[in-house]
Structure 1
């Protein structure tokens, strides 16, 4: 995958730091990510060829948080994952990376 760093909506920190997500990231991905995402605008849309890791949606403090799919990647040798939220406002060629 090739792409350029892109600006996001500034909400990654809020969502990634929710306990309902962080517990599942630890259990299913093996790490608790930094609270935020790295947004990358891909040069070409890249369908993930591996099996998605499903992160279930949940309720917290009266608010609903949606499901997302994660795909393991390595970014400069660091374990990371591409996160595809069910309720994303981003186009298919913009990915969010957690590590």
Structure 2
């Protein structure tokens, strides 16, 4: 992923939650959103550019199965860009 500049970009992020038995969190759940913010901040591009998610908006669930929830959201970054996060996937570690 290149360093982000301009008005926006799209990202696909996978989050893994460890514990068993596992309940997949809702897309608007605090833990799901907190995990997403951590993934962006600790990604190579996030580290290189010093990026962080300031706020998430329009968080919606696209689909759900017993092993994953696919979500979409808009994120306002600390560099004032608005980012479309599409198909964010939450999967449990078994």
* TM value normalised by structure 1: 0.28
* Larger RCO, structure (CA 8 Å, separation 6 or more): 2
* TM value normalised by structure 2: 0.29
